[in-house]
Structure 1
Amino acid sequence: MKKILYVLVMISLLSCCKKGTETEKDKAKDSIVIDSNNMNISILIDLSDRIDPKTNPNPTMEYYQRDTEYIKAIEKGFLNHIKSKKIITYDDQMQVFFNPEPSDPKMNELTKELKVSFNKDTPRNYFDSVDKKYAELPLNIYQSAIKDSQYVGSDIWEFFKNKVNDYCIKDDRRNILFILTDGYMYHENTKFDEKKENSYRTSYLTAKLIKANKLTNSDFKNSIEKNGYGFVKANENLSNLEVIVLGINPEKGNPFEEAVIKQYWENWCKEMKIKKYQIKSADLPSNLEPIILKAISGK
């Protein structure tokens, strides 16, 4: 009887140990999914006349040149992220968008080339290929747009309304959207406003509108809040998207113009439930690169 009891106790102990081991394995599997840091980076380029060196010259560094350097910094941060991972965990991608598409048909081919992805089967020499593409092709895009000189504006509002969910957000990814723009928003196809008793929302923002709304003094924040000025909400819930706006460049004449532009963008991001966002001025690339790299690394 004692022997039987002893055997039963041993079987019970072994069974518990086995279950405990399986539980630990299950926890480990779950932690791999939770800690996954697969990245999906998108770059939306505003190809309006803000990049025209004749209309908006800058002797220190032209704005289109700043943009290309910002893009290089984004690519650098993306590749640094990939290299920090084990090959078996690679499942990351990066792409470039315009809205609307430029008239040059070559642009479509360039954007195809700039859509890059990494998985566990990606060869090591692919890193050099991506580096080469992002060192050359963005400049070709800007040069083509400047040569074409048909600046129809950038429909950022419509992009957020109809495309950002499909193009820039993927499940089980860290989704980051970089927007290269001067902060103004205008396109003739989606220019409208919504006037209500306590608010005046628009799908656009121009220097003319800022003046019309009398947002030209230090009390602009109170005016925005009191009158309900801002962008029309374009999306209900973008909580799975981080947004980083680079290149805010106000027109001269209103010392509060830049702050007004940033306030519009900040309020818009909050209304669309974007939890993480940054809105940066058109600074020199050497100053913005550390900010870009930090934003991508999350450190």
Structure 2
Amino acid sequence: MAVKSKKTRIGDLIVAFLCVIVILVCLLPMVNVLSRSLSSPDALVRNEVLLLPKEMNFEAYKMVLGDSKYTWSLAWTAIITVIGTCLSMFMTTICAYPLIYDNLKGKKLINAFILFTMYFNAGTIPLYLLLKDLDLLNRPAVLVVPYCLSVFNMIIMRSFFYGIPDSLRESAEIDGAGPVRILVSIYLPLSTPVIATLSLFYAVGRWNGFSDALMFMNKREYWPIQLLLYNILNNMTSLEVATQEGFTKPALSDNLKAATVMFATVPILMVYPWLQKYFITGVHLGSIKG
């Protein structure tokens, strides 16, 4: 076993120290919010909560879980996240797969048009007018359809497809397999890492999204959990709105807001451990191929 030099060991220690700092910067705010959600309202008023809960109580979580608007909003967000992720992966796959064929007519022009949309877009107002003309405003589909394809993610998948040997496709073509059969039987089974990675990208983006619902959805029953949380955190200046959301006293409002943040954050965090190994492999392979 090679012995590391003194400079290498010092470099490793510096890198480890920086990693610990980054981890703490990311983790401590969430620990603080968790502690606030589990502390008593009086402890929050006295500003005693930092990293550990004070006077532990679960009143805020009981209120959140017992209120149908929170539970339905969470369930609705899960529904549109699953549907949106499946649709996005379908669109990404059928867009990326044809572009690996060298004999595709107009391939360079198609690539140019796709890349153009990555850097330039008409803006929010034309998009709003388009969705209005398509009669999608205030309909559930408006939370899924407009952003169902990411050009960046499509490029990652296309690059991954390029890394699969052409000999596999040519062998299947000799046996009489068509493009769809080749995609289903060869490319998709070999693309599990990139599929899991892009699925995670799409799922997290959809779960955390609220701007599209804020602009295009007025029906409260179709608000995703992030938009509900956004309104809760930003409408406390109105006593009427605060009372409507269940904030009947200042102390309880801070406690309940922290619980709502955890309520909206934890479900998507639980997905990461299941996809972590695919996530690392997929990002690595998708970035070096093509």
In which range does the TM-score fall when normalised by the shorter chain? under 0.3
Quick check: which one's helix share is greater?
Answer: 2
Please report the TM-score for the alignment, with normalisation by the length of structure 2.
0.23
User: Of the two structures, which has the highest relative contact order with CA contacts closer than 8 Å and spacing of 6 or more?
Assistant: 2
Please report the TM-score for the alignment, with normalisation by the length of structure 1.
0.22
Quick check: which one's strand share is greater?
Answer: 1
